[in-house]
Amino acid sequence: MKANQPAIGIDLGGTNVRAAVVDASGSVLSSYRQPLGAKRDPQSVLDLVCQAAHQAMAQAATPAEELVGVGIGVAAQLRGSSGMVAVAPNLGWREVPFGAMVAKDLGRSVRVVNDLEAICWGEVAFGAAHGFRDVLVVFVGTGVGGGLVLDGQLYQGASGVAAEIGHVKVFPSGRNCGCGGTDCLEAYLGGANLSRRLREEAEAGWSELMTLAKADPAAIHPGLVEQLHAQGDPRAKQLWSELAELFGTVLANSVTLLNPSALVLGGTVLSGCPRLLDLSLVVLRRQALAVALETLTIKPASLGDTAGVIGAADLARKDN
């Protein structure tokens, strides 16, 4: 039966492309990952994406004609279900018809979703949120992104850009975000922006942080502040407290607005900074509507790096 045939899931991030052949139970039969090179133009990236897909198919000994569908999660804001990438900041793209390009190259229709939508669907279908019908997934890695499953369905919004929680505005102290705006949550919490701020503060005199980085500004990352926090460093405590207030309040407001049954949290900044995460959850519990908290389950993401390809493959399967 067609529904049991494998599908291919592709995760196109800001650094790597990963392709995997995934069966109907969410098991990864083969996976192939390669870094994006310096050339980020659509044609160069298309070539890498299709190479990765063919490598994964070859590894799983699954010819293209046996695949039930192709799904791609892209770190981008998309235009509805058209496969058109409106803005992909990490790739430097604007208005690229990437879905159509991949479909032409692979010779079959392709479902393009946001990378966090793919991860969210993966975690709901086969991961931490399995069995939950109303789920908010938030990942804090290089950037800050979210995905929503509502009433059991992936919720993409009117034009396909729902759940952009990284661009929710926090209090106005004026930090710039990669989206061109100021005071987005991501401007404070996203790993790239946070690391830049930490480098600035280390160079401006946060000597404990600079020492921990062995005087190499390029080695500074949020995990070092987590270490300083564990040692009782007052500046680390103040910074984590400030960021927890922001992040916890944004999570709380999302819970108040959406009343999800599950909140799934993941990404390298959160997994690398458990104290920051714990402090944020204290703020969340203080700030969210009490009756919405009563029925909320909070869980760490469970599929790791493969959530995106698993989710993208399963979304493609649902289309066919």
Chain centroid offset of residue 232 CA:
31
Q: Which is nearer to a copy of itself, 27 or 159 (CB)?
A: 159
110-146 burial: b if 16+ Cβ within 10 Å, else e: bbbbbbbbbbbbbbbbbbbbeebebbbbbbbbbbbbb
From candidates 115, 134, 226, 314, binder to a copy of itself by CB under 8 A = 134
Q: Contact between 287 and a copy of itself (CB under 8 A)?
A: yes
| Shortest spacing between CB 34 and a copy of itself, in angstroms | 29
Q: Contact between 291 and a copy of itself (CB under 8 A)?
A: yes
From candidates 24, 87, 100, 213, binder to a copy of itself by CB under 8 A = 87
Q: Contact between 130 and a copy of itself (CB under 8 A)?
A: no
| Shortest spacing between CB 79 and a copy of itself, in angstroms | 8
- Cα(158)–Cα(19) distance, rounded to whole angstroms? 28
| Shortest spacing between CB 240 and a copy of itself, in angstroms | 17
Q: Contact between 294 and a copy of itself (CB under 8 A)?
A: yes
Q: Contact between 280 and a copy of itself (CB under 8 A)?
A: no
| Shortest spacing between CB 130 and a copy of itself, in angstroms | 15
Site for a copy of itself in 150-209 (CB under 8 A): 150-151, 153, 155-165, 167-169, 171, 179-181
Q: Which is nearer to a copy of itself, 100 or 162 (CB)?
A: 162
Site for a copy of itself in 17-76 (CB under 8 A): none
From candidates 34, 81, 109, 256, binder to a copy of itself by CB under 8 A = 256
Q: Which is nearer to a copy of itself, 22 or 177 (CB)?
A: 177
From candidates 5, 16, 55, 259, binder to a copy of itself by CB under 8 A = 259
Q: Which residues bind a copy of itself (CB under 8 A)?
A: 77, 79, 86-87, 132-134, 146, 150-151, 153, 155-165, 167-169, 171, 179-181, 249-250, 252-254, 256-261, 287, 289-292, 294-296
